[in-house]
Amino acid sequence: MPTEVEMENILVVDDEEAIREVVSTMLESKGYHCTTVPNGRAAQEQVKRSTPDLILSDMIMPEMDGLKLLEWMRQYDPEVPVIMVTAIHDISTALESIRRGAYDYILKPFEKDQLFLGVGRALEHRRLITENRSYQRNLEQLVEERTVQLTGAIAQLEQSYDDTLEALGSALDLKDAETEGHCQRVTAFCISIAKAMDVPGTYLPILARAAFLHDIGKMAIPDSILRKPGPLNDEEKQIMRKHCDIGYNMLIRIPFLRDAAEIVLAHQEFFDGSGYPRKLKGEDIPLGARIFTIADSMDAMISDRPYRKALPLSHARGEIKRCSGTQFDPKVVEVFMEIPEEHWIELRENLGSPFRLAHLKNLS
pLDDT given for residue 29 in this prediction: 93
The number of beta carbons lying within 10 Å of the beta carbon of residue 335 is: 17
- Phi and psi for 35 in degrees, rounded to 5? -120, 135
Q: Taking Cα atoms as reference points, which of 360, 209, 199 lies closest to residue 287?
A: 199
Tens of pLDDT, residue by residue over 102-137, are 998 888 887 888 899 999 999 998 888 887 777 776
Contact 26, 12 (CB under 8 A): no
pLDDT given for residue 3 in this prediction: 45
Low-confidence ranges of the chain (pLDDT < 50): 1-5, 177, 364
Note the CATH architecture for domain 9-160: 3-Layer(aba) Sandwich (3.40)
Q: Taking Cα atoms as reference points, which of 96, 100, 95, 103 lies closest to residue 54?
A: 103
Tell me which H or E stretch contains 26.
helix 17-29
Which of the four CATH numbers 1.10.3210.10, 3.40.50.150, 3.30.1490.20, 1.20.1260.10 does domain 176-362 have? 1.10.3210.10
Q: What is the mean pLDDT of the chain?
A: 86
Q: pTM of this prediction?
A: 0.55
Q: Taking Cα atoms as reference points, which of 260, 265, 299 lies closest to residue 284?
A: 265
Kindly list the domain boundaries of the chain, sorted by start residue: 9-160, 176-362
Q: Taking Cα atoms as reference points, which of 343, 356, 319, 337 lies closest to residue 167?
A: 356
pLDDT given for residue 175 in this prediction: 59
